[in-house]
Every structure is written in structure tokens, then in C-alpha cells.
Structure 1
């Protein structure tokens, strides 16, 4: 539908865009938020640099791992090592973490609106910020959930208590063998409930959230919808970015807003319906929040 030749990165000045987005949030019949990794990065939840060194310097020294993302794919030699890494990864990104300011600022902007969140993030930040759980669809899983590595049944399991115990008892980058989680159905090792291959388990909660999202889109078809995309890159554009572009093109009453430093663009075909910020997400949301307060 869209050609890369027609993509534009600029849709107006920063101040004009702030005013336009403020007005769209105020007047939209519904707001669909599409959130990617860039939103959590803007919140300071980086997978590299100082935060990585603070929590995983031993793994870097032993294995040459340079960031949390690549560490999740490392071929560890044993399940004891695998779970030493993942329990620590879960802990620092899911349980031992505060709510990022961009998330709280975003909630303040949309809390009184009819909104829904579609996200590829798996760090639970939306719920930590206080977003309505029934208005969230985590498409790619959750750091707080485990599943059978063989996907022998469509059920996921909360991991907080076990992950915390693994972190507390690991030594030399290994957990005690008896803490390795096993599937209660088939006995195979458990694994993270993260979409990385076709063994990803879509449990009952996943399907309920999916239907809520689809129902939200159907109910507002043809109305004034703001598609607000935050920090979505091109790793999985078919989940958020491309559908947002397509739905905007089909509905002349809709508006597409993209906030993403270094990756803010839209197709030429929807330029007049678009607002793009090549700026830090936290900065834009905070400026929006302040503008909203000043208007009261």
C-alpha cells in the first residue's frame, strides 16, 4: 500500500506539533496507543550501558555479552546458567524497577479518554503506571510469565516467587539445580513466555486481550481516532506501525502521531493526517502534560 519512496520525516515544527497533538488528545473519540521498546528506553530502562554493567558485568566478562537483549539469546551451557541469567534479567526489568516517568505522564494525558494500549513491550510498565488492565494487549508476552518450552499446553505461569529465589541463591552465574522450573504437565524445562519462535504460548488471557483490542477498533470504526505510536521501530512493524498507517489511510477522521527519536516518519499518503516528533518521548509527553496543566 505504501512505498518507502514516499515516506516523510517532517510534519511541522515542534511547537506546532505539541499544540496539534494536545488538541487531538482533547477532541478524539478514542485513542489507540501503540508502544514499542523506545518508550521504555526513554524511561531509562536501557538494555546496555551503565544499567547493563551494574547488573551483568560478570556475564560480560565470562561470555562477552554486551547488552541484555543479546544475553537472552546466548547459548548457555546448562539450564543452571540459563536461569541465572534469566532470573536476574526478570528481576531487574520486571520486579526491582520503578515506574518510568513517560508512562505516568502518558496516563495523566489519556486517563479520562476512551483509550486502548497495544504494545510489544514485555516489562509490565503500563500496569505499574496504573493503566487499566482491561485496556492493555501485550502481544509479545510478559517477563513475569513462564511457559512449557515444548508448548505442550496453552497455559502460562507467574514466576515472581521463583525468580526472586533464583536471584537470591545463584552463585558463580548458576542457580541450584533443584530450582530449575519444570512443566507441571510434561516435565520439560520451562522457558520464558516471550515471542521468539512458533512455540510461543498464547494463553487464555492473551486471547481475551486480543478480542478486547479488536472490539475496541470495531466500535470506533469511522470515528475520530488518534493512533498514538510511541517508540515503535522496524523490528516488528506489522504489529503496530503498518496497521496504524493503514487504518489512518482508510479513515479520513483519524490522525496518526509518531514520537520516536531517529525513527519518526509516515507515508506521504497520510502526511496531512500525521504528526511526527523526531524527539525523545519523555520530553514530548512531559511538555504535553505541562501544556495540559497550564490550560486548566
Structure 2
């Protein structure tokens, strides 16, 4: 499709771009939101610095780990320590979160529209903030779910009750051995339902959400649809960014909007259909709502 992609950095006036995007949200037949890590970062859910130290200062002292992302790949020697780490990461990013202004503002912006959200985020913030589950597709998993580490069957398991016990009972960076979760089918250890390799379990709920996403795209593929990309970086562009570009190019009524603090790019082929705003998502959403 984009054999000679020319990436362009947006230089348009901020206020003009806000006006145009506000008008598109108002007039579009539907809005498809693509949400990446930058959205939650803008909402304050960072994986490093003060927030990391608040939950993981002991792991930082012992192992030199400085952020939650890299810590998730650390080869802990025991499952007791592995689950002490992961129970904290799950808890602080999934269960210990109130509703948030950034997500609430986005929900208000979309409340009169037919919309759908596809996201690579796994923190459940959309549902915490009152978004209808049937309008959401979590492509990369959910902190609130476990699966068999061997993926011996395609089912996931809610983990809240056990995670809260792990948080309450861990000591010296270890949980009690009796709380270690094992697969009820094959007996292998459980692991996070987060996409990191081909063992990721796509359960019944995942496929249902995927189908609703496809149905939404099919319904509006030839209509005035706004593809609203929020905080999507370059790690997994094939999930949101590239499909949004392609669908915009295939539909002259479509508009592609990108809001990001850093990566503001788009193909030259859809320049006239694009609105790109270089700024903090929190501020941009606030300006769009007012």
C-alpha cells in the first residue's frame, strides 16, 4: 500500500488542529479509537521513577531493577519471588486504581458517538472508567488474567482473589508456596496472559472482542469514520497504526488523527486526511472537551 512512505512531522498550528479534530469528532458517523501506552502514561500510570519506587524499592535495592517493564522479564530463581513481583505489578496497575480524569474526559468526548476501542494496553483502565466492555478489544492480554504457562488449553483465569492474598501475605519479597498458581489441567505453573510469544492464550472472550472489532470496521468502512490514535508508539505498529493508515487510504471519507507527545508521523498518501497533534494527551483531551 505505502511502497514509498514519506513520514511527515506535523507542523500545523495547535489550536487549528484542535478545532478541526473537535469538528471531526462531532460530525463523524463513528469513531474508532486506537489506544497505546502513551494514553496511560499521560494519565499518570508510569512504569518507572517515583511510582516504581513506591511499589518496588526492595527489588530495586536487591537486583538493580529500575522499571516495571524490564522487571517483568527478570529471571527470578523461585516462583515464590516471581509471584511476589508479579502480584505487586498486577495490583498496582490493575486493582489499585481509581477512575482517572484522562479516561473520563475521553469517555465524555465519545458519549454521543458510536465508537469502538482497540488497545494494546493491559491495565483495564477503560473498564475501570466505565467504558462498555462490548466496545473494547484488548489485543495483548489483561493483567487480571492468568493462563497455563504451557498453553495446554485455551482458557484464562481471573486472578484478583489470589493476587490480593499474595499482596497481603508476602514477606521478604516472597509469597507463601501454597499461593503459587498451577494449571488445573496439566499441573504446569500458571503465567500472565500477556502477549510475549506464541504461547499467548486467545480465549473465547478474546475472539468475541476481535469479532466485534471486525464488525465495527465492516459497518463503517465506506462511511465518515474517524480513526483516533492516542499514544501509540512504534513497538507494535501492525496492530493499530498501520491498519489505521491503510483503512484511511482506502476510504476518502475517513480521517486519521494521531495524538502523541513524540511520534507524530503519517504517510504522505493520507496527508490531506490526517490531523496530527504533538502534545500531552491529557491536555489535548481537555481542550477538545472544552
- How much does 1:87 deviate? 0.2
Conservation of the 8 A alpha-carbon contact between 1:248 and 1:270:
yes
Q: Which residue is 1:90 aligned to? A: 90
- How much does 1:98 deviate? 1.6
- Aligned pair count reads 290
CA distance in 1, matches of 2:35, 2:254: 18
Q: Which residue is 1:106 aligned to? A: 106
Secondary structure at the counterpart of residue 34 of structure 1: strand
1:156 aligns with 2:159: no
Task: Tell me: CA distance 1:66–1:186, structure 2 relative to 1, closer, same or farther (3 Å).
Answer: same
Q: Which residue is 2:48 aligned to? A: 48
Q: Which residue is 1:72 aligned to? A: 72
Q: Which residue is 1:176 aligned to? A: 176
State the TM-score, normalizing by the size of structure 1.
0.96
Instruction: Give CA deviations for 1:238-294 in whole Å, capped at 9, x if unaligned.
Output: 00000000000110000000001011111111111001111000000011111xxxx
- How much does 1:99 deviate? 2.3
- How much does 1:94 deviate? 0.3
State the TM-score, normalizing by the size of structure 2.
0.98
Give unpaired runs (5+ residues) of structure 2. none
CA distance in 2, matches of 1:204, 1:130: 22
Consecutive aligned runs of 4 or more in structure 1 exceeding 6 Å deviation: none
Q: Which residue is 1:198 aligned to? A: 198
CA distance in 1, matches of 2:173, 2:11: 49
CA distance in 2, matches of 1:4, 1:278: 24
CA distance in 1, matches of 2:97, 2:50: 15
Secondary structure at the counterpart of residue 6 of structure 1: coil
Q: Which residue is 1:250 aligned to? A: 250
Conservation of the 8 A alpha-carbon contact between 2:221 and 2:247:
no
CA distance in 1, matches of 2:73, 2:245: 31
RMSD, aligned CA: 0.9
Q: Which residue is 2:288 aligned to? A: 288
CA distance in 1, matches of 2:107, 2:264: 22
The 5 A counterparts of 1:24-35 are 24-35=24-35
- How much does 1:169 deviate? 0.5
Q: Which residue is 1:22 aligned to? A: 22
- How much does 1:11 deviate? 5.3
1:137 aligns with 2:137: yes
- How much does 1:15 deviate? 0.4
Conservation of the 8 A alpha-carbon contact between 1:40 and 1:100:
no
Q: Which residue is 2:123 aligned to? A: 123
Secondary structure at the counterpart of residue 193 of structure 1: strand
Secondary structure at the counterpart of residue 32 of structure 1: strand
Conservation of the 8 A alpha-carbon contact between 1:194 and 1:200:
yes
